[in-house]
Amino acid sequence: MSKLTRRKFMRVAGAGALATTAGAIAAPALAQTAPEISWRLAASWPKSLDTLFGGCEYFSKRVAEITDNRFKIQAFAAGEIVPGLQVLDAVQNGTVEMGNTAMYYYWGKDPAMTFGTALPFGLNSRQMNSWLRFGGGNELLNELLKNYNCIGFAAGNTGAQMGGWFRKELNNVDDIKGLKFRIGGFAGTIIAKLGAVPQQLAGGDIYPALEKGTLDACEWVGPYDDEKLGFVKVAKYYYYPGWWEGCGQGHNLINLARWNELPKSYQAAIVTACGDTWDWVLGKYDHGNPAALKRLVVAGAQLRSFPQEIMEASYKAANEIYTELSRTNPMFKKLYDSVMAFRSDSYLWMQVAEYGYDAFMMRVRSRS
């Protein structure tokens, strides 16, 4: 072997040895910093709701993609591990690592929970996103959730919701009295003040109750989901707006101890995937609702706006309840003061350019 050939051989052999050594060092280091982890996510939604439960599946997919499939989260529909309205309890006690739910389902534990989903006559979807990210909302909600051994991240939003399905037409406040009305979360306290009888049922349980007459009326989300759940078959009057949900904010709740065990990169993956899911869910609803509303009207839905008398009475009742709770619940008052200040300034802006533009475009859309 010539000297030149020998030198080339030594360089190649040396490089191979270095690569082998580097591989031996890098592999365990990678495994240490990016371990393989499997979690379970319990959702409050049935699989038939391909936007709410679909958002859970989308979130899991995004976490897997971001972590090169080393962090896997399997989504389970309502009832597969725990009932839909027991997700917070399951996360709190460690039955599952995380869940996707609406915080206002748990207002019975603390009325302040309603701020995590929708305060009646509160924020719309854009305002909610802004308040959570820049107005201190995330920090305040996690101060509350810490009492339940959880941390939460916004993941999915429905936009403004419909007012629901009624067997009879509503003309005034007296028509609400005695109605057995399925309504989500804290808003039940407001309609109860007007004489209705609020019922809280998970999504999959609403139709049978409405069909049997156990319910006189129900609300869920909006046209896309309401069509899937079949409400038009048993109640024809379809009211708007859902004043109790100017938006429907969903949360991923995570057991605090399990969250703290995660590598920082996996925590970042969850936060990023939650943000992606927020956009995905709202975009899918905005795409699906218009066509679904047309189909529902063809199927016999009678579209109605709530009479002004009912809107005003509901608004008055809501504010009376907020004043009372603010006297007795410091966390509720802290969140309420934050949301009200934010809402006031936000609408000051939105009524200028945003409202001006939207109102004009809605008037002229038929000319296009």
Per residue in 91-113, pLDDT (tens digit) is 999 999 999 999 999 999 999 99
Q: Which of 3-12, 70-79, 106-115 has the lowest mean pLDDT?
A: 3-12
What pLDDT score was predicted for residue 200? 85
Please name the residue that has the structure tokens 């795409």: 287
Smallest CA-to-CA distance from 181 within 222, 227, 220 is with 220
Query: pTM, whole model, 2 decimals?
Result: 0.89
Cβ count within 10 A of residue 257: 11
Is 95 or 29 the better-scoring residue by pLDDT?
A: 95
What pLDDT score was predicted for residue 98? 99
CB of 172 closer than 8 Å to CB of 310: yes
Tokens for 135?
A: 């107005």
Tokens for 129?
A: 């996103």
Is 106 or 15 the better-scoring residue by pLDDT?
A: 106
Smallest CA-to-CA distance from 153 within 13, 272, 314, 21 is with 272
Side-chain half-sphere CA neighbours of 352 within 13 A: 4
Give the integer Cα–Cα distance in Å for 328 and 331. Answer: 9
Degrees to nearest 5, angle at CA 288 with 117 and 133 = 35
pLDDT above 70: percentage of residues in the chain: 91
Smallest CA-to-CA distance from 159 within 102, 116, 222, 81 is with 222
The one-letter code for the residue type at 54 is G
Q: How confident is residue 367, by pLDDT bands cut at 50, 70 and 90? A: confident
Give the integer Cα–Cα distance in Å for 45 and 21. Answer: 50
pLDDT greater than 60 at residue 7 = no
What pLDDT score was predicted for residue 25? 42
Which tens digit of pLDDT belongs to each residue from 310-364?
A: 999 999 999 999 999 999 999 999 999 999 999 999 999 999 999 999 999 999 9
Q: How confident is residue 17, by pLDDT bands cut at 50, 70 and 90? A: very low
Which tens digit of pLDDT belongs to each residue from 183-206?
A: 988 999 999 999 999 998 888 889
pLDDT greater than 80 at residue 287 = yes
Smallest CA-to-CA distance from 294 within 355, 243, 223, 195 is with 223
Domains, the chain: 34-157+247-286 (3.40.190.170), 164-245+303-367 (3.40.190.10)
What pLDDT score was predicted for residue 13? 45
Give the integer Cα–Cα distance in Å for 337 and 144. Answer: 15
pLDDT greater than 70 at residue 160 = yes
What pLDDT score was predicted for residue 204? 82
pLDDT greater than 80 at residue 77 = yes
What pLDDT score was predicted for residue 63? 98
Beta strands in the chain (DSSP E): 37-43, 71-76, 98-101, 150-157, 164-166, 180-182, 197-199, 217-218, 237-240, 249-255, 302-305
Q: How confident is residue 225, by pLDDT bands cut at 50, 70 and 90? A: very high
What pLDDT score was predicted for residue 12? 44
What pLDDT score was predicted for residue 45? 95
Give the integer Cα–Cα distance in Å for 247 and 278. Answer: 12
pLDDT greater than 80 at residue 132 = yes
CB of 37 closer than 8 Å to CB of 266: yes
What pLDDT score was predicted for residue 26? 45
Q: How confident is residue 20, by pLDDT bands cut at 50, 70 and 90? A: very low
Task: Give the chain's mean pLDDT.
Answer: 92
Residues 6+ apart with CB under 8 A from 221: 52, 158, 161, 162, 248, 285
What pLDDT score was predicted for residue 185? 80
What pLDDT score was predicted for residue 18? 40
Which tens digit of pLDDT belongs to each residue from 229-242?
A: 999 999 999 999 99
pLDDT greater than 80 at residue 14 = no
